[in-house]
Structure 1
Amino acid sequence: MARSTKQLSDTEIRAAKPKDKEYNLFDGLGLRLRIKPNGSKLWLLNYTRPTNKKRANLSLGSYPAISLAKARALVLDARALLAENIDPKLHREQAAAAEAALKVNTFEKVASDWFEIKRDSITSDHAAKTWSSLQLHILPYLGSTPIGQVTAPMVISIFRPIEAKGSLETVKRLSQRINEIMVYAVNTGLIHANPLSGIKAAFKKPKKQHMAAMVPSELPELMQSLAYASIRRTTRFLIEWQLHTMTRPNEAAAARWDEINFDDRIWVIPAERMKMKKEHIIPLSNESLSILNNLKQISGNREYLFPADRDPKKHCNEQTANAALKRMGLQDRTTAHGLRSLASTTLNEQGFDFDVVEAALAHTDRNQVRSAYNRATYLERRREMMNWWSKHIVQASVSNASLATSLEIL
């Protein structure tokens, strides 16, 4: 018959005096109170570890900070874990480590870790914009918050003022980015679930707006406006360069001289600068080469075709062309990106192969095999098309309104 242990009472505990050597008072179920020579009284649970069947002590705290009733409750909790073959001491250590990790893994640290991976899959300009948006709108409020303490109401309260300003696209992008960060935290084991997965439903949806673009018949008007616009000459070169090459604003603004192959008459944009992370080769027409010839006199000794005014070691802002079009009074009729639409519409109306046009625009075919075939076979057909397009731009220019008409061809 198992020996029973008489349970302790508060009176007995208070009356216990220190001795020369530490000793224990027993309460049952493995709970004991250790009295030390210095007078301290410590609660311990003596139990058998489920992993190796050896005896061990689990500290439950000191008396009277931990009362007799509280100590007994802690014993029951530990016994419940043991019933599931969970070592309560190991369980406590793991919980403490997880809590410490939460304190170390602030939102800013996790966001930074996520960004280091994210930046490899996007262009450098997109990466800069992404991190800048976090620094401006999120990190000042959540940066020092442990990732496990970020909640939906917390984030919604941060985004509400942005929504109130009517910046619904900004709210949409921020919601996407912060959700990516939280999913990263889930996948790396920092949190168990993403509490922000549904926050987009708390905000108004931005209305889809197609980028403004002029129609083919308005090309002469565009060239005339460009010729007489009160803008920097380099900005005019930038707009015409983008128009002739059919590139995106960021691709044109960040063009480098070492990307130009004059012998083969091509511009090779490396994969890291392209939206789809694939190298893009652009055949250069005589008119495009003429623009380059004139630009060499301005920026030929620089790294970029279009250096920034304040810091020539950097390229101009990708919004430079848009700002110029706005000053020209065309903000509601076209954007810098809309120049690509103008080119696409014109070339398709003229009967050029749709796939060749798409390849010129660096639109990636979802069919990877077909996309690889297109890249391998369309370069010469694109060269013919780009030559036609450049000549069409010049012909649409009234009174030599194009910079490409009066320049020496390389």
Structure 2
Amino acid sequence: MPLTDTACKNAKCPADKARTRFTDAGGLYLEVVPTGGKHWRWKYRFGGKEKRLALGTYPQVSLAIARRTRDDARVMLKSGTDPVAAKQDLKRVAKVSLETTFEPVARAWHEHWKSSKSPRHADYVLRRLEADVFPEIGKRPIADLTAPILLAVAKKIETRGAVDIAKRAWQTCGQIFRYAVANGLLERNPATDVKPSDALKPRIKTHYARLEAKEMPELLRKIEAYQGTPATRLSMKLMALTFVRTGELIAAHWDEFDLEAAEWRIPKERMKMKTPHVVPLSTQAVEVLAAIHELRGLNGLLFHGERDHDKPMSNNTILGALKRMGYAGRMTGHGFRGVASTILHEMGHRHDIIELQLAHQERNDVSAAYNFATYLPQRRKMMQEWADHLDKMRSNAKFLSIAGTKRA
């Protein structure tokens, strides 16, 4: 049987074996070693000999990406080219190019750096380099690049109003130069000569648009009556009930949910603080998940894109729905978090429990496992009371306060 995301996640190798292979299809398999490492391999024949092509490490390379890479290699094989030999030739060309221009160095850095990042974030960083940096300095000898040249690149990005992107471009270039120094291509990093704050405009911190608590009843009723796609309506309902970050919601996979235990366990790779997070699910949240299941099944993403089911729906889907309901500039997906925090404090819930459920705490490696389930019974009770409170607000047009709900 072909592999599934759940099977890949749960795949293990017995301690008494050197490796275990989990077969997908078309020669693709996942090789697991006792230490927990999981490596994609593609088995094929070329020139009468059996060969294997390494396709990356799971979960950095997902099942869907591994299949697409296998299919690309198949096309190459049918054209008469050995995929392993082609990969080796590419490495040799890149090694030669590293000694000359910035772009090949940057791509080599990205290949090295992305292994510990989410595919989505890694793709974003590469696209920003391709859009803003490579056109300016990609073909210039890396040894000739100086701090003023890098600053000119950042200033050009800043002139279009993208202050944050300008600073990130500077920081990314700094990482690329450190990689070049570490690999003997440069003697020093020119990005260290100037700090972004020395020349770029300071970022003006803005808060996400959010409604007042008294405006929530109307919003909840509009969500219930939303005439857009059912998936978008359900995503807003789940957002209100769980108040997770938008990115955490839209990229959620079914294998993160235990509906019997009424828990959503978000892996550290998808969390801002890079530690796992548990979201206790109210009975209302479980009902929403059941509706999503009935609508889209129990495989892969809860909220996949309309065209590409291997990718999550757009970050702007919820924002666009709120805009269509008349909340442009007044409410965002992130705004549900602020409203929840305000109301839960007014209801008398403890600040540290609210902050923990919002996943605001900075955590170190020692405390991460402890914080994962800290105050879970209290948080479970709080999340159910929150869901019940939303029901009351939605059903009562005159429900403007939380009088009588304060806790002792």
TM-score range relative to shorter protein? 0.5 to 0.7
Change in CA separation of 1:370 and 1:312 when aligned onto 2, cut-off 3 Å:
closer
Answering whether residue 380 of structure 2 is matched by residue 383 of structure 1, we say yes
Answering whether residue 311 of structure 2 is matched by residue 309 of structure 1, we say no
Question: What is aligned with 1:282?
Answer: 279
Displacement of 1:398 in angstroms is: 3.8
Q: What are structure 1's unaligned runs of at least 5 residues?
A: 1-99, 401-410
Contact 1:302/1:312 (<8 A) preserved: no
Change in CA separation of 1:367 and 1:137 when aligned onto 2, cut-off 3 Å:
closer
Displacement of 1:318 in angstroms is: 2.5
Contact 2:217/2:396 (<8 A) preserved: no
TM-score by length of 1: 0.66
Instruction: Tell me how many residue pairs correspond in the alignment.
Output: 301
Displacement of 1:103 in angstroms is: 5.2
Change in CA separation of 1:204 and 1:377 when aligned onto 2, cut-off 3 Å:
closer
Question: What is aligned with 2:270?
Answer: 273
Answering whether residue 338 of structure 2 is matched by residue 341 of structure 1, we say yes
Aligned AA (2:121): H
1:110-121 alignment, distance < 5 Å: 110-121=105-116
1:7-406 alignment, distance < 5 Å: 104=99, 106-197=101-192, 198=194, 200=196, 201-366=198-363, 372-398=369-395
Aligned AA (2:141): P
Q: What are structure 2's unaligned runs of at least 5 residues?
A: 1-94, 398-408
Aligned AA (1:317): S
Superimposed CA distance per residue, residues 275-310 of structure 1 (whole angstroms, 9 cap, x where no aligned partner)? 222222211110001101111121115411112111
Q: Partners of 1:261 and 1:366 in 2: how far apart?
A: 25
Q: Partners of 2:189 and 2:341 in 1: how far apart?
A: 42
Displacement of 1:388 in angstroms is: 0.9
Q: Partners of 1:362 and 1:233 in 2: how far apart?
A: 28
Q: Per the alignment, in what secondary structure is the counterpart of residue 265 of structure 2?
A: strand
Change in CA separation of 1:399 and 1:232 when aligned onto 2, cut-off 3 Å:
farther
Bigger mean CA deviation after superposition, 233-242 or 321-330: 321-330
Superimposed CA distance per residue, residues 231-271 of structure 1 (whole angstroms, 9 cap, x where no aligned partner)? 32211111111221121111100111121112211111122
Bigger mean CA deviation after superposition, 261-270 or 173-182: 173-182
Contact 1:359/1:375 (<8 A) preserved: no
Contact 1:267/1:283 (<8 A) preserved: yes
Displacement of 1:228 in angstroms is: 4.2
Q: Per the alignment, in what secondary structure is the counterpart of residue 323 of structure 1?
A: helix
Q: Partners of 2:369 and 2:268 in 1: how far apart?
A: 15
Q: Partners of 2:215 and 2:116 in 1: how far apart?
A: 37
Displacement of 1:366 in angstroms is: 4.5
Superimposed CA distance per residue, residues 100-147 of structure 1 (whole angstroms, 9 cap, x where no aligned partner)? 978536322332343345435544433332222112111233233332
Contact 2:254/2:300 (<8 A) preserved: yes
Change in CA separation of 1:123 and 1:140 when aligned onto 2, cut-off 3 Å:
same
Aligned AA (1:387): Q
Change in CA separation of 1:118 and 1:344 when aligned onto 2, cut-off 3 Å:
farther
Q: Partners of 2:363 and 2:101 in 1: how far apart?
A: 38
Change in CA separation of 1:360 and 1:119 when aligned onto 2, cut-off 3 Å:
farther
Change in CA separation of 1:376 and 1:228 when aligned onto 2, cut-off 3 Å:
closer
Displacement of 1:369 in angstroms is: 5.3
Instruction: Give the aligned CA root-mean-square deviation in angstroms.
Output: 2.6
Aligned AA (1:232): T
Change in CA separation of 1:314 and 1:302 when aligned onto 2, cut-off 3 Å:
farther
Q: Partners of 2:216 and 2:234 in 1: how far apart?
A: 16
Question: What is aligned with 2:401?
Answer: none
Contact 1:122/1:277 (<8 A) preserved: no
Q: Partners of 1:103 and 1:376 in 2: how far apart?
A: 47
Q: Partners of 1:134 and 1:334 in 2: how far apart?
A: 31
Identity across the alignment (%): 37
Bigger mean CA deviation after superposition, 204-213 or 258-267: 204-213
TM-score by length of 2: 0.67
Q: Partners of 1:128 and 1:196 in 2: how far apart?
A: 23
Larger Rg: 1
Contact 2:303/2:312 (<8 A) preserved: yes
